[in-house]
Amino acid sequence: MTLDFVSGLDLVWALLPEIVLSAWAMAVLLAGVWKTGGSEDEPESVRGLGWLAISGLVAAGVMNGLLYRVNVLGQPTMITIDGLRLFSNWVFLGGAALTILISFPYVTRQRLQAGELYTLILLCTVGMMVMAGTKNLLVLFLALETMSVAAYVLAGFNRRDRRSAEAGLKYLILGAFSSGFLLYGIALVWGATGTVSLPQIAETIEAGAGFTRLLLAGLGLLGIGFAFKVGLVPFHMWAPDVYEGAPTPSTAFMSAAVKAASLVAFLRVLLEAFPDLYVSWYPVVWWLAALTIVVANLIALTQSSVKRMLAYSSIAHGGYLLIAIAAANEVATASLLFYLLVYTVMNVGAFGVLMIVGDHGEDRNGVESYAGFGGKEPVLAVVFTIFLLSLAGFPGTGGFMAKIYLLQGAADSRLWTLAVLLALGTVASYYYYLKVAWYMWMKPARTGDATGPVWAPPSMRAALIASAVVIVYLGVFPGGLLEGARAAAEGLGLIATAGTLGLAP
């Protein structure tokens, strides 16, 4: 099939995954409102709405697969069909599906409105998919706000929990400031170049026709907006409180998929619109990565709450992934895509186990709550251990291979200091990840704790076990997925990197 973006109908075909998912989200919302019997928070109703939402994700995935067979005529204006978009879509769709699968018991126990929750997850995913595929800064902003508004509501979704309401309010207020920075940055870039199209911005800069100081100011404001969305130090202060206070399914989704979408959009903007300003933005990205790795890991070492520890570790992983953007070569970009997929699976899976240990509530997040879990639930304890080892980058897991490829990309651009910081951060993370595993397997259950197995439906157990199998498989046989990531990175305008320009410290 051949598409020409001059035609409005062909543009609709190019956006078919997003259109299908948007329509399905409305169907899920209506199904929740027009339920035929029982309450929306009853187990049967929750599962029915959940499987309906997952069906929409599958349908969008089918449409995404069909786009691989599309040939494009002409230069994309607002949306593109390239490997980066299509690969990223699999990450977002998979993260949303896994989040919904593990949420069934939590939604039932907390008596949340399943139809509204799953609709928000689907709409948030639509925003992510448009972010990954846009070639226009204004469309990027609209997609970012679609994702962000849904994420604000997801953070404060449990209206009966004061902590959830506080998390939603903090996220909304600080998110509004970051959106303001981003939009003001877009305005300055437009004022300097006369366009908001990424390829045309690059062409204007290459021709030397832009107003340099105004352009740098706009780029700086764009960077602040993205740094907030990713949760990079020093723009990270919202993340631990929001992640801890939000309902655990929302936290799992936001810490993985929302972060992934923001990083992909940041990557596309820098490499496609501002490659000729690499000398200007590279030092800023370098310092953001270094500060994020060091600060997040040091604070994570002091956490007694597992949920808060995972929040800070999520910030640290954002720092690791920023190394790929600083490296700006094909290996680094492929490693970022590989890392994002692995990270989404293992992070959402880890939060799934948190829901089980916490009895699907929010009160048992301390590391001591995991004492004796290995004896009560050996299968789930093994699964959680795999997730923790992969997050730490232990050999034989997908997380280890993701960091190896990230180190290779950093080495190709001679980013030796960042490579050393990545290695040291990984070593430091062994302490706080393996501390939880040690409590599970080596510490006896506390007096008064229930000794019987915890309750988790078969769908949730199957999803967690399958995720652990995927993590181990990618740790042993990563070649196929890595080749797909490399193919996805081929279409990007990769640039002369820090090593070749003599910039790498």
* Two tokens, residue 43: 């187990």
How far is Cα 472 from Cα 399, in angstroms, rounded to an integer? 9
Alpha-carbon distance of 196 to 322, in angstroms, equals 24
Neighbours of 213 (CB within 10 A): 10
Determine the number of helices (DSSP H) and then strands (DSSP E) in the chain.
Answer: 22, 2
Tell me which H or E stretch contains 72.
Answer: strand 71-73
Helix (H) or strand (E) holding 343: helix 330-357
Cα gap 253→249, rounded to integer Å:
6
Rounded-to-integer distance, Cα 124 and Cα 131, Å: 11
How confident is the model at residue 299, as a pLDDT?
94
The domains of the chain are located at 274-505
Which two structure tokens, joined as six digits, stand for 274? Answer: 């501002």
Compute the distance between CA of residue 405 and CA of residue 383 in angstroms, rounded to an integer.
24
Q: Over the stretch 169-201, which tens digit does the pLDDT of each residue have?
A: 889 988 888 899 999 999 999 999 989 999 899
Confidence band for 262, pLDDT divided at 50, 70 and 90: very high
Per residue in 437-454, pLDDT (tens digit) is 998 888 877 665 544 455
Give the pLDDT confidence score for residue 452 in this predicted structure: 47
Backbone angles phi, psi at 71, to 5 degrees: -105, 140
Cβ atoms of 311 and 244 closer than 8 Å = yes
Residue 472: which pLDDT band, with cuts at 50, 70 and 90?
Answer: very high
Is residue 158 scored above 60 in pLDDT? yes
Task: Kindly state the average pLDDT of the residues 292-307.
Answer: 92
Structure tokens at 324: 């790929």
pLDDT tens across 346-366, in order? 999 999 888 888 765 556 677
Average pLDDT, the chain: 87
Would you state the structure tokens that stand for residue 294, as one six-digit string? 């060091």
Tell me, what DSSP letter sits at residue 41? T
Q: Is the Cβ–Cβ distance between 246 and 155 less than 8 Å? A: yes
pTM of the model: 0.92
Token representation of residue 445 = 């259950």
Instruction: Report which listed range, 33-37, 57-61, 178-182, 445-449, is most confident.
Output: 57-61
Distance CA 65, CA 89 (A): 10
Torsion from C-alpha of 384, 426, 320, 228, nearest 10 degrees = 70
**pLDDT above 90 for 455:** no
Beta strands in 315-463 (DSSP E): none
